[in-house]
Amino acid sequence: MADASSTTDGRPWADLPRDLADHMRPHLDEVADDMIQEIQTRVSEYDRPGDGSYSGTLRLAVERVLHFFVDRVADPGHDSAPVADFFRAIGRGEAGEGRSLDAMQTAMRVGGMVAWRRLTEGADVLHVSPRTLGAVGEVLMEFQDELAHAAAEGYSQARAAVAGEMQRRRKRLLDLLFADPPAAREAIADLAAAAHWPVPRTVAAVALGRPRDARRPAFPPDVLADLTRRTPSLIVPDPDGPGRAKLIDRALAGTLAVIGPTVPLMEAARSIQWARKTLGLVQRGVIEADGDPSGPTGQSGVIRCVEHMSTLILFQDEGLITSLADLRLAPLSHLRPSQQDRLAETLLAWLQSGRNANEVAMRLHVHPQTVRYRLRQLEELFGDQLLDPDLRFDLEIVLRARALLAENAGERIVPSPHAAVGDSGEVVTFHRT
């Protein structure tokens, strides 16, 4: 048998003597039997005595690999596409069955070991030189790598297709749950089953601020997520379960996230509505985020709607609040903005402290005499209105809203200079600056 030429171009297949294939062909059935027996002995996943179809598939794969190997020894340019496609299909099949590639890769190593053993045994009989034997070993390892790569490629393609379809189903499920009015319970149950999402009893919706960079938070697998929405959104199942709050907080670390109230599954739309409303107030600065403002979102931190319900109620209908403020704060309308600010701050502190001047002075860090002077001004401006419990309640509402805007967002509720109640009872609107 002719010896292999020296390798100068890095192509080990071209360095094998062509007639080596003629010596291999008569022994392929024996080698296939040895490979199958060794694989079934060493890899338990392939030892299925009662499964004839599985054994047939194993034999088909082994024989196809052996014949292709020999054909390529005879012709280094032999088309490798069919065997590569065959192993891509195997990889896709393993993914479809929910298995990993570990067993298949182990079987390939065992098969390669058997092939190498038979080759070295035949080398003595044929007087193959060490150089040629080394070239055979090199192409054998290269061949195994090609097949393993093809299987991994098919496996990845199948997993990506499954994951993509599953993600589409989950996004559609999120759409159904956020629909208002809600979708039919049966439609949600069917899509949840198709998306492999166990239907929970309660959920909380989460609205996320958009990050400045491309980082994507990693969420637990039972969390429905759609980060492609205008407001990236989540649904967290059973948010009040043991350890769930800490788990979600860890997943959302470094992200501006507002968690809506816990609601029954069919009321998820209500939870996301409140979460989005709260997020808007956080982004305006009305509700303060505890996280680092220099973080990836500009703001970060996990905020729970239930901790800010009174603020949410205040800002549920801002047009209504502003109209009420225009009516109740009309006595301040003719004053300069700085005077309005001082008197509004004093009046709110007086209402919140049980109308105690000394406590107002402590709250505002001013002299009690200054407080008394301002209170006399307020009595002159508001008169008997300060004696009416209902009007005091209205004043506290609008002054709280004014304070939230002023403290956190740089906005101020300012009554129009001409704020008044017309003949028809319509309230003239006021503005924010």
Find all residues with CB under 8 Å of 418, minimum gap 6, and list them.
Answer: 333, 428
Task: Assign 95 to helix, strand or coil.
Answer: helix
Of 187 and 415, the structure prediction assigns the larger pLDDT to: 187
pLDDT level of residue 410 (50, 70, 90 thresholds): low
Over the stretch 147-169, which tens digit does the pLDDT of each residue have?
899 989 988 888 877 777 888 89
3-state helix, strand and coil shares in percent for the chain, rounded to the nearest 5: 60, 5, 30
Burial class (CB in 10 A: 0-12, 13-18, 19+), 183: middle
Span of 124-133, 279-288, 324-333 with lowest mean pLDDT: 124-133
CA angle 388, 345, 289 (to 5 degrees): 115
Question: What pTM does this model have?
Answer: 0.58
Over the stretch 334-362, which tens digit does the pLDDT of each residue have?
999 889 999 999 999 999 888 888 898 89
Find all residues with CB under 8 Å of 416, minimum gap 6, and list them.
Answer: 326, 333, 428, 429, 430, 431
Please report the pLDDT score of residue 412 as a whole number.
Answer: 54
